[in-house]
Amino acid sequence: MGLRPGRGAGVVGGPAPLLTQMTSSHADVLLVGYELQDNLGLRSIAATLIANGYRVQVEPYAPGDPSRVLQAVQATKPVLIGLSVIFQYTIDGLAELAGALREAGCPSHITMGGHFPSMRPREVLEHIPAIDSVVCFEGELTALELLRNIDRPEAWGRIKGLAYRRKGEIWLTPPRPLVADLDDLPWPVRGQPRRLSRGVKAASIAASRGCWYDCSFCSVRQFYGSAPGSLRRSRSPTAVVDEMSELHQRDGVRYFVFQDDDFAAKTPNQQAWVNGFLDEMATQSLVGKVAWRMACRADEIVEPILRRCQEHGLVLVYVGFDAGSEVELQRINKRATLAQSLAAVEVLKRLGLAFEMGFMLFHPDSRLDTVRDSLGFLRSVADDGSCFILPSRMLPYAGTPIERRLHREGRLVGSWSRPHYAFLDPRLDWYYRFTERVFRHENTDVLGLVNRLRHAQLDRALAAVLVGAPWVDAYGEALARLTAQVNAAKLFTLERALDFVAERDEDGIASHWHLLGHLARRQGSVHTRQHRELDALLAEFAPETLATFKAAARFAAA
């Protein structure tokens, strides 16, 4: 099909070019995926293919609107289309996209990759007849081999890490070993950097892949543990800072979001890596010029290390607390204690570091008392407005220990792509239904209160480090007061609703359900007032951020 031959058998480490809209009328490969943040997995595959001589275009996926992808396919006529599934619960939209491509007469080989397809390749091929194959686990080398053999299906069986359809049957090859040295991979190709408020340009970056831990709900361990290789691999500190320096100098990036599953600093080796990374930032003169965000576990919050990170530009930490009771932490195999979570919060507050909580109020084995314990934990952590609370429900991702157990117990229901479960105490199902009704928009919508607070928190943190204006402290104090009010109102509603279901049996809840209407209306009125208060706060300290939200609201209304 006129493909450009690869340059050598492997990949080439180092920088890849800025990927802009292609001017060529042809591409060998079209890669499609969610791009709310940089899709580094997809863009790493693109870089590997480009390094081996192929022409690649990356196209953002817009749920419910296949027109842009269809136009890109018509314009570029790729021989291979790759669909990236980041979250299991989004696969249905990408399956519809694949079907729309076939209905439009697209002859390309369509492959799919990501956590869920890797864990369930046979089911994905059975349920989505429009796709031809699944690239399992890390995709750089498998996609490269598939592309080199795209016209030779008889050779697909020799490509490790591939599931494919041939002559009406589905075949799975042995998993491909993970890339041993991440420095061997070319840097992900880049689009134009995202623009935040105050003219700050942002980009995502990764220093490692994988995680050593085996929490029962997390698919990261299952994804990397299902292929031969180390459960966690790190790039060299120099390679990471080299990429940051390149993006800063070439594209003006000043804020980096580390997408590592776990930016670990618990063991001596991990702490040595972090210190080496910080030393390299100083050597390459990035300190004071850039800011960054990372994610970690609560038991990895080590004050001296975190303080040094802060001195080198760390402004925001996402912490996976995940549960607020000792019982729940043990049940999810978190291998951490409530005392460690509380100690981590004390360190973060003492340093004045902005932080977000990964937290699940609902687990498959939750009881009324564990939910009450978790609400108490949230109140103790967030009553001062140091962070916003976003209680969620554990999802039974494919391949995880919790999914397997729920299946064994006969509790896993729903569809193949969107499984769910009922609680052991049916009163909790009523309680969860109420929380979804009252908080779903404010917790998850891009124009909801939580997302707006998240943007304001980041804006304040970046202003403190990169702008250094005299009004930053006043901005932070006003934002903390409002966040505390938002948290207090949310916790009041959650606690009163929990009292309601705890005082009744299931029939009593159903017959008196209307009584919760007053509580829901009260919370809705509070939300409306708090949106106005946030508008006033942003008008004073961050008018550009406010203008962005208003523009988004007008677009949504249209």
- 510-557 pLDDT, tens digit per residue, is 999 999 999 999 999 999 999 999 999 999 999 999 999 999 888 888
What's the distance, CA 45 to chain centroid?
Answer: 18
Coil vs helix vs strand at 33: strand
Residue 508 neighbours by CB under 8 Å, 6+ apart: none
Confidence of residue 70 (pLDDT cuts 50, 70, 90): very high
Cβ neighbours of 9 (radius 10 Å)? 10
Task: Please state whether the predicted TM-score (pTM) of the whole model is above 0.85.
Answer: yes
Amino acid letter, 206: A
Answer whether 142's CB lies under 8 Å from 176's CB. Answer: yes
Q: What is the DSSP string of 82-145?
A: EEEE-SGGGHHHHHHHHHHHHHTT--SEEEEEEHHHHHSHHHHHHH-TT--EEE-SS-HHHHHH
* pLDDT, the chain, mean: 93
Of 10 and 452, which is predicted with more confidence?
A: 452
- pLDDT tens profile 317-357: 999 999 999 999 999 999 999 999 999 999 999 999 999 99
Tell me which H or E stretch contains 233.
strand 232-234
Whole-number Å distance between alpha carbons of 411 and 413: 6
Please give the pLDDT value at position 13. Answer: 57
- The pLDDT tens digits for 84-96 are 998 899 999 999 9
Could you give the count of Cα atoms lying within 13 Å of 384 in the half-sphere of its Cβ?
Answer: 13
Architecture of domain 29-172: 3-Layer(aba) Sandwich (3.40)
Q: What confidence category does residue 469 fall into, taking pLDDT thresholds of 50, 70 and 90?
A: confident
The region of weakest confidence among 31-35, 488-492, 553-557 is: 553-557
**Among 2-6, 239-243, 480-484, which is the least confidently predicted range?**
2-6
Structure confidence at residue 37 (pLDDT): 83
User: pLDDT band for position 265 (50/70/90)?
Assistant: confident
pLDDT, position 86: 84
d(CA 370, CA 38): 37
pLDDT at position 14, please?
61
pLDDT of 4 > 90? The answer is: no
Residue spans per domain, the chain: 29-172, 193-421, 425-558
User: What pLDDT was estimated at residue 25?
Assistant: 64
User: What's the CATH code, domain 193-421?
Assistant: 3.20.20.70
pLDDT tens, position by position, 298-319: 999 999 999 999 999 999 999 9
